[in-house]
Amino acid sequence: MKIASIIARYLLGLLFLVFGLNGFLNFIPQPPIPNPLAVQFLVAVSTSHFAAFFFVVQVLGGLLLLSGFFVPLALTLLAAVLYNILAFHLTLLPGIGPGLVACVLWVLVFLQYRESFNGIFSAKPVTKA
């Protein structure tokens, strides 16, 4: 399981690094978007520069996963990105396959680092006096 987690961490890191950089450099051509509402959404996101923050988080998360440092932080950041990807594809643009693959990779990495998240899953966290 540990080897699968390491492979998943590298694949997920590479995936987010490449697609995050693509947001800035546009080296992967985008197919035409059939849903006009999705086009409006993407225009609003890119015009307002919200997309830049989204892509920075992807690049940062990808680099952290590839380096092996702060992996729980990277998983936390990328969980929010994955949620947005899935929400976009479920509501505006069908084709959820790549998002599901990224989610499976995320879960494989999370299982290796799940003890780092014990505090956020407790109903009554321990506080210091």
pLDDT digits (tens, 9 = 90+) for 96-129: 888 999 999 999 999 999 999 988 878 887 788 7
Q: How many CB atoms lie within 10 A of CB 109?
A: 25
**At 63, which helix (H) or strand (E)?**
helix 50-67
Please give the pLDDT value at position 14: 98
Q: Do residues 31 and 81 lie in contact, with contact meaning Cβ atoms separated by under 8 Å?
A: no
Mean pLDDT of the chain: 93
Q: Block means of pLDDT (10 residues each) for the chain, length 129 residues? A: 94 98 94 92 94 96 98 97 94 90 97 91 79
Please give the pLDDT value at position 89: 92
Please give the pLDDT value at position 119: 82
Please give the pLDDT value at position 118: 86
Question: Of 52, 51, 88, 65, nearest to 17 (Cα)?
Answer: 65
CA-CA distance, 109 to 64, in Å (whole number)?
A: 13
